[in-house]
Structure 1
Amino acid sequence: MIFLITKFFLPSFIKQINELIAVLPGYLNQVQEFLDRQQAGIDRGSLPPEIKKSLLIQIDSLEKSVAGILKSLLATLWGISSHLFDFLLAPILAYYILKDVHNLKKNILGYLPVDFRDEAVIFLKVCDHVFGRFIKGHLLICLTVGILTGLILYILKIPYSFLLGLLAGIMELVPYFGPILASIPILALALLKGKVLFIKTLLAIVLIQQIEGNVLAPKILGDSLGLHPLTVIFLLLCGFNLGGVLGMILAVPVAAVVRNLYFLFRWRGNSLEVDSKNFGKV
């Protein structure tokens, strides 16, 4: 994986970041010219002074917001590229942690009373299984959305399609707000290329998000955790209404843990042997 990233993806990623840094002032100038034209049109218009003043204030606010968003995006992309070494270091750290995981388990269980150790092991196994499958499922969703976004942007001939697809995949880790934030630079670049391209890009983003929210997430997470897609949708809605973004993140895995523990301890009460590999299939 490190070889493939270094050979194919890293050079393209760095190249597109450098290109974006080089052309960013030009994009900012185009945005500034567009806002100046709108401002000049308002000045020449026959609107009442109060409305003119309000519109000019809104344009000035929009100008500052766009500049701030583009600068924040650039800083974020540069921050990601500067931490690539950390991403490459993660598998090495994971290897040593997994190598000594049995000693870590023994040390942790040694602090617990003997009567509770069996239940603690069962609880940790269920949590490990559920959250592990949840993370894998969510990463698969991010990968799918990133590839779809990059491919569609490439077909629409929007510049930096690889970089924007990567950004969309990463921002998918942030529920609800992530896709919205990722769509802002995409739509901004499309608008600079023309209104028709902007509408096509907007429809494409809406389509991808509808597929992700109504098909991919319920199906992938449901299959990973053994939950029906409708149950996943219901849990996401309840989690968001009860706990906001954090509730939305935790609703599905917590519900799966509670469900699996319920069936597990019910089976234990009936003296049935349970295979931990079948937790997700309950």
Structure 2
Amino acid sequence: MTDRPDAPRPRLRPGGIVLAFALALLLGAMWQWSNVLLMGFGAILIAIALRAGASLLNRRTGLGFKPGVLLSALAAALVIAGVVVWAGPSISEQFQQLLGSLPAAWDQVSDWLSGSSVGQFLEQRMENAQSGGGSPAPEGTLPSLFGYVTGTLTTVFGSVANLVLLVTVAIFLALDAPLYRGGALRLVALSYRPRAAQIADELGRALARWMGGQAADMLLVAVATGLGLWLLDVPLALVLGLIAGLTNIIPVVGPFLSGIPAVLFALTQGVDLAIYVALLFVVIQQVEGNLLMPLIQRYAADLPPALTVLAILAFGGLFGFGGIILATPLLLVTIILVKRIYVEDVLGDRMGD
């Protein structure tokens, strides 16, 4: 059977072509400027925290939002400066001791592995992999030292500049949040603008609750870890507890990142102490995961663990280490957008919750 010659053929509409081209251009720009978008998302999180502080001051003292934002930023800066002045030298000294002790702990682990069949197999595989690659550049030469110093300085100055830029953008966003919110909503069609405003407000509330719950969780984990290590008479309990609290922002992976250096350092003090430290981290993470986190998620957001792990892998692959740190709030935003826009508005399923 052949098509009739007078059968209508689908035509490409100019509007559809322009829309497809614009969408492709937008996706390409997002991919090219992914780091800028990630920094912008981080600035939004900080701005939400500053607005929360300003809102608290407004309810308690009647202070306006703009002075409240500036006062909240100043208070946060003073707290950070106070911690640095009060505990900075001790933390720096303990951190240097921790870094200095890790090679000795790794030597003990290497000696133990070399005496086992599994360790010998892994060592042989690593030697074969190294022999198959190109010869490394000789260490200690002037070019290698110059490259190391230059790379270190570039990293340090780049990180400081990004941090200053991030905080600056966050303060501007917090000062004029209604202005930027209104400008973003004007990009939405008039018929969808009320729904977009509703979803934007929900995103702001969800991210604010997540930050509050995450801050409480990190603080409790840091205090519990530091106190437990101190009771076990483990040196450097302060810095190890601080590392445990900071890395707890990364779900699932964070406890391993903080537990490994703690166990390795305790190994230099004895095998028994290393076992006790490992048990301490297991107990704290069990209590945090089964008791503390469910209570926090009732207030903040209940995120499926499987999706959380996939989000860490996905956003980490897209944005690097910054994507790993912000994987949970990015997942939270994604879930809300999919639920409200696709499930409810497109599919018409109002039972999505």
Q: TM-score, normalised by structure 2?
A: 0.53
- Partner of 1:164 in structure 2? 240
The reply on whether 1:131 has 2:207 as its aligned counterpart is yes
Q: Deviations over 1:218-269 (max 9, x none)?
A: 11121234xxxxxx4xx524525876756993666666778899xx99xxxx
> Does residue 195 of the first structure (1) align with residue 271 of the second (2)?
yes
Aligned counterpart, 2:304: 236
Which residue of 2 is the match for residue 32 of structure 1? Answer: 107
Written as runs of structure 1 = structure 2, the 5 A alignment for 1:1-282 is: 1-21=79-99, 23-24=100-101, 27-29=102-104, 31-32=106-107, 35-36=110-111, 39=114, 55-58=119-122, 92-225=168-301, 232=302, 235-240=303-308, 249=328
Per-residue CA shift, 1:127-176, capped at 9, x if unaligned?
11112211221222122112211221122122222221121112111121
Q: Secondary structure at the match of 1:123?
A: helix
Q: For 1:45-88, what per-residue CA distance to the aligned partner results, in whole angstroms no more than 9, with x for missing partners?
A: xxxxxx6xx6534467799xxxxxxxxxxxxxxx89x9578667
The one of the two structures with greater contact order (alpha-carbon pairs below 8 A, sep at least 6) is: 2
Q: Is the 8 A contact 1:191 1:198 kept in 2?
A: yes
For residues 102-139 of structure 1, the C-alpha deviation after alignment (integer angstroms, 9 at most, x for no partner) is 22122222222222211111110011111221122122
RMSD of aligned residue pairs (Cα, Å) = 4.0
- Native 8 Å contact 2:199 2:340 kept in 1: no
TM-score by length of 1: 0.65
Q: Percent identity?
A: 24
Gaps of at least 5 residues in structure 2 are: 1-78, 128-154, 316-326, 346-352
CA distance in 1, matches of 2:252, 2:271: 26
Contact 1:145 1:169 in 2 (8 A): yes
Gap runs ≥5 in structure 1: 43-50, 64-78, 226-231, 266-281
Larger % of helix: which?
Answer: 1
Matched residue count:
228
**Amino acid paired to 1:172:** N
Q: Are the counterparts in 1 of residues 252 and 309 from structure 2 also a CA contact under 8 Å?
A: no
In structure 2, give the amino acid aligned to 1:239: L
Inter-partner Cα distance in structure 2 for 1:187 and 1:146: 16
